[in-house]
Chains A and B, each alone.
Chain A
Amino acid sequence: MTATVPTGTSAGAPTSDVDPFSHEVLEDPLPMHEALREAGSVVHLSRYDTFALARYDDVHEALLNWQDFQSSAGVGLSNFRYEEPWRPPSIVLEADPPRHDAPRRVLQKVLGPRALRRLREGWAADADALVDEVLARGTSFDAVRDVAATFPLRVFPDAVGIQEEGREHLLPYGDHAFNAFGPANDLVAKGTPRVAELSAWVNTQCRREVLAPTGFGADIWAASDRGDITPEQAPLAVRSLLTAGVDTTVHGISALLYAFATHPDQWQRLRAEPSLARTAFDEAVRWESPVQTFFRTATTDVRVGDVVIPEGRKILMFLAAANRDPRRWADPDRFDLSRDPSGHVGFGMGIHQCVGQHVARLEAESIVTALARRVATIEIAGPTVRHHNNTLRAWESIPVRVALD
C-alpha cells in the first residue's frame, strides 16, 4: 500500500494518491484505512481532489454536524451543485434541514422500535422456517446465497408491502445505487445498462395502488394523507426503503455469519447466551462496516484538526476506518461479543443516522437466533469470494459447513 504514503500537502493536509474505489482496495481496504488514520485528521485524496476523514472522533463529529457538512450536494463523489444526479435525489439521505425534517420524521415513526413490535413474532417464525429448509438440504451451504441474501428478501418486501413479481430487481438496484456514490468507474458502468429497467420497476412499487393496504409503504402514504409529507414525497420515501433497506441488511447479515464462522468461540458464546444476538450484530456492523463510506460537502470553510477544508469541497468519511480506530476501540480488529460496540458509526450518526437500523437489527436477531437454536458449530468450507461495490463491503459467497446438535 505504498500509494497511501502521503505524497505532499494540500490546504495543510497530507496528500495521498490512493484510489479507495480501485478493485485492489475494495478487496481489502483495511491497510488503506490504517494509512489514512495514521496520516492525519484530514488527508487530501489527489485522485479525486477530495478530503478524507478516517479517525473516529473526526468522522463522528462530521456526521453530527449537518450545519457545516451538508448532504444536499450529494453523499457520493458527485457534487449536485454542478452535476446532474443519476436519479431524483433522495428526500432524506440527500437532503438537509429544513427539507429533510418532515420525511425523516415520518420514516422514523414508521420504522421505529415501537412500530416493529408487531413484526417480531412473525419474523422469528420465518427465520426458523428458513433455517429448517436450508438444513433439510444438508449441512453445507452458502451463508450468503442461502441465508443472508434470502432472509431479508423474505421478510422486508412483505413488510413494505410491495408486489411479489420482480423482487429479484431489488438487490441489483440497491447495488447500483451504492456504486453510484463512488466515481464513474467500471462498477458503475456495469450497472448502467439496466438502470432504466430497474428504476422503472422500483418506481412502480412506490405507487399507492401497487402497495399492499398494510405495511411500511401504506403507512407512508397514510402520513401523506395527514399532510405530514406531500403526495409527491410519499413515493420517494418508499423508494428510500427499497434502495437502502435490502443490500445493506444482506451484507450486514453476511458479515455476522462470516464473523461467527471465523470466530468459533464467539459462536459458542452466543449459543450460551442467545440474548447477545443484538450486540453481536452491532459488533459485526462495527467490525465489517457494510456501509464503508459517505461523502459530505463543506458549507463553509471548516476546520478539522489543523486543516481548513474550503467551502464547497467534498469530504469522504470512512465509517469503516472510524469503526476500527484504535484511538476509540481497544483491539479494534477483534470480533468480540464481550465488547460494547455502542457508538459505532456503521449506521452513521446524527440526523441522517440509518432510519432503518431497528429493522436491520430485528432481521439479524431473528435469523441468527434461529441458527443458534439448531447449529452447534459453523466453519468455512471453501474459498470465500468478495463482492466489490464502491460503497458497500460485501460478500459474494461464504461456503460454510455446520454441525447440528
Chain B
Amino acid sequence: MTATFPVTGTGAADVATLRVTGKHVQADGVLTLELASPSGSRLRDWTPGAHIDLVLPNGLTRQYSLCGDRWDSTTYRVGVLREPESRGGSSFVHEQLQVGDLVGVGGPRNNFPLVPSEQYLFVAGGIGITPILPMVRQADLLGADWRLLYGGRHRASMAFLDELAPYGDRVQVRPQDEFGLLDLPAFVGEPREGIRIYSCGPAPLLDAMERTCAYWPPSSLRVERFVADEAAAPARTAPFEVELARTGTTVTVTPDLTVLEALNRVGVEVLSSCRRGVCGTCEIPVLAGRPDHRDALLDDDERQADDCMYVCVSRSRDERLVLDL
C-alpha cells in the first residue's frame, strides 16, 4: 500500500476540536464513536489504556478509553455504554450526538499503561472491555502469552465479540446469564512471578479482583476504575480572561483562539514546541483560577493542583485565570 501525508494544520484547535465521523451500534446499549480532525490531520498519539476527555456540545466533560487502532493516525474510536442513571453524558452521546458534530477533546492521557511483560492476564467486565481491547491486540502483536476473561450481563450486551473472535481460545467470553459470576480464582490461578494482570469493569468486579490477587507479588495487578460523572464545573465555551500577573495585562481568549495564540497576539512571547500538549515546553504557572486541562502530560493529582497549565491546548473553567507571566 502507499501511504500519503494527511493535510496538516498548525493550530492546536486542530487536535483539541474533533468531528464525529462515525457512530455505530456495537451491542445492546453500547455504541462506538469515531472522531477525526475537521482538516483530516494527524491526531495526538496514544498508547493502549489511554483515555480522552470528551467535551460534549452540552458542556459536559466525560472520559472514554480509546479502543481503536493507533496505526491509524487520523481516527480515534471510543466505546460508550448508555448508563441507566446517566446525568447527561452517555444519554447525550446515545440520543443527541450526531455524525458531523464537533466535540472538544483533551488528552489522550494514560493512567492504565500496559507495562512490558511476557505474560498477561486480562479481565474485563462489560464496557470495561474498551481499554482492554487495544491491550489484547498489543500483547498479541508482541507475541506475549496472554488470556482474556470477558464477562457481561448477556451476550448481546457484550461489545467487540466479533473483533475478539480471531483470537480463539485465548479469549473466554462468559456472559452472566449463561455462566453465572466470573470464576476469578480459577482464571487467575496461584500467585506467581512475572505475570501482569489488567482488569477494568464495574467496581464489584475490581473489588473481587483485588481480593483474588491479594497474595500476588506487588504491582502484579493493575486496575482502572471508571469514575462516576465528575462534579467538576463544565468546560467553558464562552470567552475568558487571562491576567498576566507580572505586567497586569489582561487578554481575552475567544473560543477560536488558544491561550498561546491570544498571548502572541498581544505580543507576549511564550516558548512552545509541539503545540499539541505533549512536550511540556509551554508550561506556565497558574496563580489563580482553574484551568481546563487538555494536555497529555499531567496526571490526575497534578491536574487537581491547578498550579500550572500548558497554554498551547489548555483553557479555562473559570472566567478569569491569573498566570505568572
Please report A residues at the B interface, Cβ cutoff 8 Å: 61, 64-68, 97-99, 101-102, 105, 112-114, 226-230, 233, 278-279, 282, 300-304, 308, 340-344, 347, 349-351, 353, 357-358, 361
Q: Binary interface profile of B, 221-245, with partner A (CB < 8 Å = 1, else 0)? A: 0000000000000000000000000
Are A308 and B2 interface neighbours, CB within 8 A? yes
In the assembled complex, the Cα of A347 lies from the Cα of B273 at a distance in Å of 9
In the assembled complex, the Cα of A347 lies from the Cα of B1 at a distance in Å of 31
In the assembled complex, the Cα of A254 lies from the Cα of B113 at a distance in Å of 39
> A residues within 8 A CB of B10?
343
CB of A303 to closest CB in B, whole Å: 5
The 6 closest A-B pairs by CB, nearest first: A227-B219, A342-B272, A68-B3, A101-B47, A301-B2, A113-B280
Q: Which of A61, A97, A227, A340 contacts B47 (CB 8 A)?
A: A97
Pick 29 A–B contacts, CB within 8 A, sort by A: A65-B3, A65-B42, A67-B73, A97-B45, A98-B48, A98-B114, A98-B142, A99-B116, A99-B142, A101-B47, A112-B280, A112-B297, A113-B280, A113-B283, A229-B115, A229-B116, A230-B116, A282-B273, A300-B1, A300-B3, A303-B3, A303-B4, A343-B272, A349-B273, A349-B274, A351-B45, A357-B279, A357-B281, A358-B281
Q: Which of B3, B8, B117 contacts A301 (CB 8 A)?
A: B3
In the assembled complex, the Cα of A105 lies from the Cα of B282 at a distance in Å of 19
CB of B186 within 8 A of chain A?
A: no
Residue of B nearest to A98 (CB): B138
> Which one of A61, A98, A282, A357 has the highest number of Cβ atoms from chain B below 10 Å of its Cβ?
A98
> B residues within 8 A CB of A67?
3, 71, 73
Are B8 and A350 interface neighbours, CB within 8 A? no
Are A279 and B281 interface neighbours, CB within 8 A? no
Are A279 and B116 interface neighbours, CB within 8 A? no
> A residues within 8 A CB of B271?
278-279, 282, 340-342
In the assembled complex, the Cα of A97 lies from the Cα of B137 at a distance in Å of 13
Instruction: Please judge, given known A-B contacts A112-B280, A112-B297, A114-B302, whether A61 and B8 are in contact too, CB under 8 Å.
Output: yes
> A residues within 8 A CB of B115?
102, 227-229
> A residues within 8 A CB of B3?
65, 67-68, 300-303
Q: Binary interface profile of B, 1-34, with partner A (CB < 8 Å = 1, else 0)? A: 1111100101000000000000000000000000
> A residues within 8 A CB of B264?
340
In the assembled complex, the Cα of A99 lies from the Cα of B47 at a distance in Å of 11
Residues facing A in B277-303 (CB within 8 A) are: 279-283, 297, 302
> Which one of A67, A233, A282, A347 has the highest number of Cβ atoms from chain B below 10 Å of its Cβ?
A67
CB of B117 to closest CB in A, whole Å: 8
In the assembled complex, the Cα of A223 lies from the Cα of B71 at a distance in Å of 27
In the assembled complex, the Cα of A66 lies from the Cα of B1 at a distance in Å of 16
Are B219 and A102 interface neighbours, CB within 8 A? no
Q: Binary interface profile of B, 152-171, with partner A (CB < 8 Å = 1, else 0)? A: 00000000000000000000
CB of A351 to closest CB in B, whole Å: 6
Residues facing A in B58-106 (CB within 8 A) are: 70-71, 73
In the assembled complex, the Cα of A73 lies from the Cα of B74 at a distance in Å of 24
> A residues within 8 A CB of B114?
98, 101-102
CB of B196 within 8 A of chain A?
A: yes
CB of B205 to closest CB in A, whole Å: 22
> B residues within 8 A CB of A105?
47, 110, 113
CB of A355 to closest CB in B, whole Å: 10
CB of B141 within 8 A of chain A?
A: yes
Instruction: Please judge, given known A-B contacts A227-B115, A357-B281, whether A304 and B269 are in contact too, CB under 8 Å.
Output: no
In the assembled complex, the Cα of A66 lies from the Cα of B275 at a distance in Å of 18
CB of B10 to closest CB in A, whole Å: 8
In the assembled complex, the Cα of A227 lies from the Cα of B216 at a distance in Å of 14
Residues facing A in B202-216 (CB within 8 A) are: none
Are B1 and A301 interface neighbours, CB within 8 A? yes
Instruction: Please judge, given known A-B contacts A102-B113, A113-B280, whether A300 and B73 are in contact too, CB under 8 Å.
Output: no
> A residues within 8 A CB of B279?
353, 357
In the assembled complex, the Cα of A282 lies from the Cα of B270 at a distance in Å of 12
> B residues within 8 A CB of A282?
271, 273
Are B2 and A227 interface neighbours, CB within 8 A? no
> A residues within 8 A CB of B47?
97-98, 101, 105
> B residues within 8 A CB of A349?
273-274
CB of A308 to closest CB in B, whole Å: 6
Are B116 and A357 interface neighbours, CB within 8 A? no
